């Protein structure tokens, strides 16, 4: 290409998996110079976003243009490999000296070595989300923080929590345990950022990777990440290059513009911007709406607060989960709900428990005397410790989640023989016989069959702001597209292929629901049987689309409680039993035993003490004080006649659900 005139304009476009970056360069006094740049999220509709972004750029009048990125095939411009775009952009900013470009993107990370001899060496992560921007965002959303908020919180934290850069589902569990232990949020967040940085730093080879190191990509804009890299590099005698302004976000688009500017035979930018979609071989499956006839959602049972001065004794059930916390008060012994509430845990199980008990104590139901508290969920021990400090050990009972699910389901429908539970982080399979647990299983180190997987993938679509939007889109699909059973990175690639193939958005979202159930059936249920009546529990089943996916793939009747998270899981396991004599096999202090004939607690007097006890209980949550105050869990042994509970499969549940006393001893 000959010398460019002063009016020449060269465009570079990076159409990534989540964002579009556009750059313009042109001739200046010292050669090509950076004139303009813009960035836009496309929400899985890159074609529409491209047209919106380019409206004000007069792109047909540009001298030349080039494109790179995940969706580069949508655009009719010449394509540039990512490696070439990074190399050109880096040399434009730093000159021709050797350097190492480290890219930290939303879906992957890579290292490009520009060696002195002209050799370019490229390495990138395997097809796993650990160490990526999505990996970090998933962890921080567990704490209800954006990446920017979290970065500001932990930028100067000197004592980060020690976390390893493992699969997100394992690391989410570690983060939940730290929060349950009362670890300061700034330390947890700092540990998350450092875990991501360490995972990427392992790709650098001191002594072989050229100095300096250039950080690019959205994650690289983090103050904590940059500081961590700087310290790591200094220990190896290397330096971190400082780029002007936000150049690290646009390096690949800049490289494309530079390639276009030096192309010997630029093509005119006439004709349509976008290519027609190329059909992809993706299997179509029946619409989810066709299976709704096999889904039976139980009718709403709104709580009935006491009236006319009536103050029946109640039991309060709490489920302090990793993502959501629920509470319900029911009368004794008939189990009539009189109050309920739900709130996100937001990485603060103590705060969630305090807020729920405050709400109950100040409600009309708070005037009722309380006979006992039942607590389950990942935060059951620390919440149980706080309740014990205020109400006494004889009133607070802990129950593992398997037994809680079983008792809750049977209380709704005695015919239930199979429970599918899908929560935000975990997924469980429970098999019942005569109302008792005979087998159970949980997901291992994969979040593909959980609610967080559905939420993380679903929020990337245009016009989707919550679960209700996802459900509406999935149920209006005329059919679905089979996306297979994959983890988050593989699934993101399948979604990209569907988008490039022109598959309509509702069909892709319906495919996501089907994929969650496919993953659940293969990775959680395995070869275990499915009974005739499946009870679906967990907040994701608030969506009829997910229940329809279960019905379509199993062909059996599916029962869903009206509020699948807060009622079935939290309340029913803690119903007090009618009078009956305890047996030698059963701990007489268990909530499943007959309630002792002693005075009930008056909540109006005791509830305020919970807030005062919280700081001390949190600080000592891992010490011996808590272990001495928390009552033993429900016995997995035989159940006396007339008592409402379920037998736990101790061998199956114990590895994942340690008893409070065992945890305290450890």
Cα(319)–Cα(39) distance, integer angstroms: 42
Cα(52)–Cα(368) distance, integer angstroms: 59
Cα(233)–Cα(212) distance, integer angstroms: 9
Cα(406)–Cα(569) distance, integer angstroms: 8
The residue written with tokens 């160490």 in the block is 131
Strand pairing report for 109-114 and 436-442? unpaired
Using one digit for the tens of pLDDT, what is the confidence trace for 608-663?
444 444 443 333 333 332 222 333 333 333 222 222 222 233 333 332 222 333 33
Of 82, 106, 101, nearest to 256 by C-alpha is: 82
Measure the N-to-C terminal CA separation of the chain; round to a whole number of Å.
72
The residue written with tokens 């080039």 in the block is 66
Give the per-residue pLDDT at 605: 42
**Is the distance from CB of 370 to CB of 316 less than 8 angstroms?**
yes
Mention every residue, 6+ apart, whose C-beta is less than 8 A from residue 224: 151, 154, 155, 190, 193, 194, 197
Q: Identify each DSSP E strand in 463-506 by its residue range.
A: 479-481
**Is the distance from CB of 305 to CB of 314 less than 8 angstroms?**
no
Length of the chain: 666
Cα(194)–Cα(388) distance, integer angstroms: 36
Cα(548)–Cα(542) distance, integer angstroms: 11
Per DSSP, what are the bridge partners of residue 124? 110
Q: What DSSP string runs through 385-410? A: HHHHHHH-GGGEEE--HHHHHHHHHH
468 is written with which tokens? Answer: 């209700």
Mention every residue, 6+ apart, whose C-beta is less than 8 A from residue 477: 287, 288, 289, 504, 506, 507, 509, 510
Phi-psi region of 43 (alpha: psi -120 to 50; beta: other; left: phi over 0): left
Our measurement of the distance from residue 90's CA atom to the centroid of its chain's CA atoms, rounded to an integer in Å, reads 34
167 is written with which tokens? Answer: 């699969």
CB count in 10 Å sphere of residue 345: 28
**Is the distance from CB of 539 to CB of 565 less than 8 angstroms?**
yes
Sheet containing 99-104, strands listed edge to edge, beginning at the edge strand earlier in sequence: 120-124, 109-114, 99-104, 213-216
Our measurement of the distance from residue 434's CA atom to the centroid of its chain's CA atoms, rounded to an integer in Å, reads 35
Give the per-residue pLDDT at 411: 81
Per DSSP, what are the bridge partners of residue 21? 14, 39
Our measurement of the distance from residue 409's CA atom to the centroid of its chain's CA atoms, rounded to an integer in Å, reads 26
Q: Which helix (H) or strand (E) holds 380?
A: helix 380-391
Cα(635)–Cα(655) distance, integer angstroms: 16
Read off φ and ψ for residue 242, nearest 5 degrees.
-100, 120
Cα(583)–Cα(578) distance, integer angstroms: 15
417 is written with which tokens? Answer: 């023989």
Can you tell me whether residue 130 is helix, strand or coil? coil
Read off φ and ψ for residue 55, nearest 5 degrees.
-55, -40
365 is written with which tokens? Answer: 């139901």
Of 327, 353, 392, nearest to 630 by C-alpha is: 392
Residues of the chain with pLDDT under 50: 566-666
Strand pairing report for 109-114 and 120-124? antiparallel
Taking the CA atoms of residue 559, residue 565, residue 571 and residue 574 in that order, the dihedral angle to the nearest 10 degrees is 90
The residue written with tokens 């050990």 in the block is 393
């Amino acid at each position: 290409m000959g010398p460019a005139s002063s009016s020449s304009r060269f465009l570079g476009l990076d159409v990534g998996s989540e964002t579009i970056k556009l750059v313009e360069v042109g001739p200046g006094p010292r050669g090509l110079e950076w004139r303009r740049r813009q960035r836009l999220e496309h929400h899985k509709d890159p074609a529409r976003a491209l047209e919106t972004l380019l409206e004000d750029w007069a792109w047909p009048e540009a001298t030349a243009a080039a494109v790179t990125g995940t969706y580069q095939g949508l655009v009719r411009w010449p394509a540039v490999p990512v490696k070439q775009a990074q190399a050109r952009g880096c040399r434009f900013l730093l000159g021709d000296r050797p350097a190492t470009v480290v890219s930290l993107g939303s879906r992957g990370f890579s290292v490009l070595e520009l060696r002195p001899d002209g050799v370019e060496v490229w390495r990138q992560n395997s097809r796993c989300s650990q160490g990526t921007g999505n990996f970090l965002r998933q962890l921080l959303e567990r704490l209800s923080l954006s990446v920017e908020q979290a970065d500001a919180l932990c930028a100067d934290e000197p004592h980060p929590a020690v976390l390893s850069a493992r699969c997100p589902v394992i690391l989410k569990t570690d983060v939940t345990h730290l929060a349950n232990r009362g670890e300061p949020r700034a330390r947890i967040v700092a540990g998350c950022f450092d875990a991501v940085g360490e995972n990427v730093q392992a790709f650098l080879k001191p002594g072989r990777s050229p100095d300096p190191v250039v950080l690019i990509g959205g994650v690289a804009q983090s103050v904590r990440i940059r500081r961590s890299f700087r310290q790591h590099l200094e220990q190896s005698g290397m330096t971190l290059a400082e780029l002007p302004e936000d150049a690290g976000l646009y390096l690949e688009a800049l490289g494309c513009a530079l390639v276009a500017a030096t192309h010997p035979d630029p093509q005119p930018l006439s004709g349509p911007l976008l290519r027609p979609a190329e059909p992809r071989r993706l299997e179509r499956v029946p619409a989810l709406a066709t299976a709704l006839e096999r889904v039976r959602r139980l009718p709403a049972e709104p709580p009935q607060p006491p009236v006319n001065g009536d103050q029946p004794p109640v039991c309060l059930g709490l489920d302090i989960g990793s993502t959501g916390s629920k509470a319900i008060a029911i009368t004794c012994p008939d189990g009539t709900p009189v109050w309920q509430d739900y709130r996100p845990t937001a990485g603060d199980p103590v705060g969630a428990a305090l807020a729920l008990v405050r709400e109950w104590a100040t409600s009309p139901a708070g005037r009722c005397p309380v006979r006992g508290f039942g607590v389950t969920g990942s935060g059951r021990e620390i919440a149980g410790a706080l309740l014990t400090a205020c109400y006494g050990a004889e009133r607070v009972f802990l129950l593992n989640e398997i037994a809680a699910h079983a008792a809750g389901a049977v209380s709704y429908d005695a015919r239930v023989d199979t429970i599918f539970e899908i929560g935000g982080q975990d997924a469980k399979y429970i098999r019942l016989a005569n109302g008792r647990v005979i087998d159970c299983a949980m997901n291992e180190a994969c979040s593909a069959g959980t609610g967080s997987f559905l939420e993380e993938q679903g929020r990337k679509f245009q016009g989707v702001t919550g679960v209700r939007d996802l459900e509406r889109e999935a149920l209006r699909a005329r059919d679905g597209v089979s996306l297979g059973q994959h983890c988050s990175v593989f699934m993101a690639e399948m979604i990209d292929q569907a988008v490039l193939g022109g598959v309509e958005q509702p069909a892709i979202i319906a495919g996501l629901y089907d994929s969650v159930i496919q993953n659940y059936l293969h990775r959680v249920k395995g070869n275990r049987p499915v009974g005739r009546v499946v009870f679906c529990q967990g907040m994701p089943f608030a969506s009829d689309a997910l229940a329809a996916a279960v019905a379509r793939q199993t062909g059996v009747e599916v029962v869903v409680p009206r509020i699948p998270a807060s009622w079935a899981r939290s309340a029913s396991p803690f119903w007090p039993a009618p009078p009956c004599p305890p047996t030698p096999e059963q701990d007489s202090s268990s909530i499943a035993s007959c309630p002792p004939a002693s005075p009930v607690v008056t909540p109006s007097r005791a509830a305020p003490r919970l807030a005062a006890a919280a700081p001390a209980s949190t600080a000592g949550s891992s010490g011996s004080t808590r272990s001495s105050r928390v009552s033993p869990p429900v016995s997995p042994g035989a159940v006396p006649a007339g008592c409402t509970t379920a037998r736990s499969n101790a061998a199956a549940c114990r590895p994942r659900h340690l008893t409070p006393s065992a945890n305290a001893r450890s």
